Amino acid sequence: MKARITVTLRAGILDPQGRAIEGALRSLGIAGVASVRQGKVFDIELEGTDRGAAEAALKDAADKLLANTVIENYRVEVVG
Amino acid sequence: MKAVVLVFPGINRERDMARTLELVAGAKPAMVWHAERELPAGTDLVVLPGGFSYGDYLRCGAIAARAPIMEAVRRHAECGRLVLGVCNGFQILCEAGLLPGVLMRNAMLKFICRDVYLRVERSDTPFTRGYNAGQVIRVPVAHGEGNYIADGATIARLEGEGRVLFRYASPDGMIDPNWNHNGAINAIAGILNARGNVLGMMPHPENHVEAAMGSTDGRGLFAGLVDHLERAA
């Protein structure tokens, strides 16, 4: 099974990297960019076929290591 | 003082820290590798030094905070014994949940390596008894992620309980955004845990302990710890 965990900064947390990227996009002349927030994507391959167990393990992984829930949110997707 | 300096892959300030501990406390600290599961018996102080553990992969300090030795550090702290985290060590303590909050990218996005001025907020802690409350000390910083933040309730609690021990300040002790080089909330440079035995700070007091370094302002922190432990003994 393949899965993807997406980690993003919580609303209200200052993202200086996102802001710098936003500025760079403007200076490239790319129109219509209102704001940019930078995040992380983890593509994970899992053993076994139990989708429920996989989702539980991925949530555990995100809570314990992949995201710092003080400042970040995460989304778990088992993609098949 | 029986001190331990933890060594994680990618740490690079452990020898500065060991040298300072030997200079001020008169005994060489034990260097303990991250893969160990126990601290030496009778350890008074555990120091997490600065550097770039695991190359700052994932988040600064995130992987080191899950190292095997950290369970022993947690037990050591739960017994009320002393823990000091400097720079990456502060980031590791936050990631390990031994201190609240997180160190974000510096507000100006630059790695900053220079001397800063810190106002010592209290002198009645094991870490600051070598200073006077309100005293300003000059110590170096060298970090890209030192911008301390926590949720509003946590900040209110830290402030209400007097757990901010060091703030970035002007040379005359004023709190001013121009002297808060990394944008930390309330100019926070160092905080204490609720029990008062775990300190994390971004600046490097261990690098200002001899006249040849240009300042000895950092020495008071280590001398204060030695004094605290001698009185407790």
Q: Map out the domains of chain B with their CATH numbers.
A: 3-232 (3.40.50.880)
Q: Where are the domains of chain A?
A: 2-78
Query: HSE-up of B156 (CA within 13 Å, CB side)?
Result: 3
Of A14, A66, A70, the CB nearest to B101: A70
pLDDT in tens, B32-80: 999 999 999 999 999 999 999 999 999 999 999 999 999 999 999 999 9
The pLDDT assigned to A17 comes to: 83
Catalytic residue (one of B95, B143, B206, B228): B206
Structure tokens at B91: 């980031």
Chain B residues inside the 8 Å CB shell of A13: 104, 149
B112: enclosing H helix or E strand: strand B112-120
Q: Going by DSSP bridges, is the β-strand pair B3-7/B45-48 parallel, antiparallel, or unpaired? A: parallel
Q: CA of B144 to nearest chain A CA: how many angstroms apart?
A: 12
Q: 3-class SS at A17?
A: helix
State residue B233's pLDDT score.
Answer: 74
CB B197, CB B80: distance < 8 Å = yes
How far apart are the CA of A33 and the nearest CA of chain B, in angstroms?
21
Q: For this structure, is B206 an active site residue?
A: yes
Tens of pLDDT along B75-87? 999 999 999 999 9
Q: In this structure, how many other beta carbons lie within 10 angstroms of the beta carbon of residue B10?
A: 15
- Does residue B161 have an active-site annotation? no
| Interstrand relation of B164-169 and B112-120 (parallel, antiparallel or unpaired) | antiparallel
| HSE value, Cβ hemisphere, 13 Å, CA-based, for B18 | 14
**By the 8 A CB rule, do B57 and B35 touch?**
no
A78 φ, ψ to 5°?
-90, 120
pLDDT digits (tens, 9 = 90+) for A22-71: 999 999 999 999 999 999 999 999 998 999 999 999 999 999 999 999 99
ipTM of the complex: 0.83
Q: Say how far apart CA B209 and CA B217 lie, in whole Å.
A: 6
Determine which helix (DSSP H) or strand (DSSP E) holds A61, and give its type and residue range.
helix A51-61
DSSP summary character for residue B210: B
Q: Which of A14, A16, A68 sits opposite B59 (nearest CB)?
A: A68
Query: Closest residue of A to B101, CA-based?
Result: A70
Look up B204 and say whether it is catalytic: yes
Closest-CA distance of chain A to residue B107, Å? 6
Amino acid at A34: A
The SS3 call for residue B159 is helix
CATH of region A2-78, choose from 3.30.470.20, 1.25.40.20, 3.30.1280.10, 1.10.10.10 = 3.30.1280.10
pLDDT tens per residue, range B14-27: 999 999 999 999 99
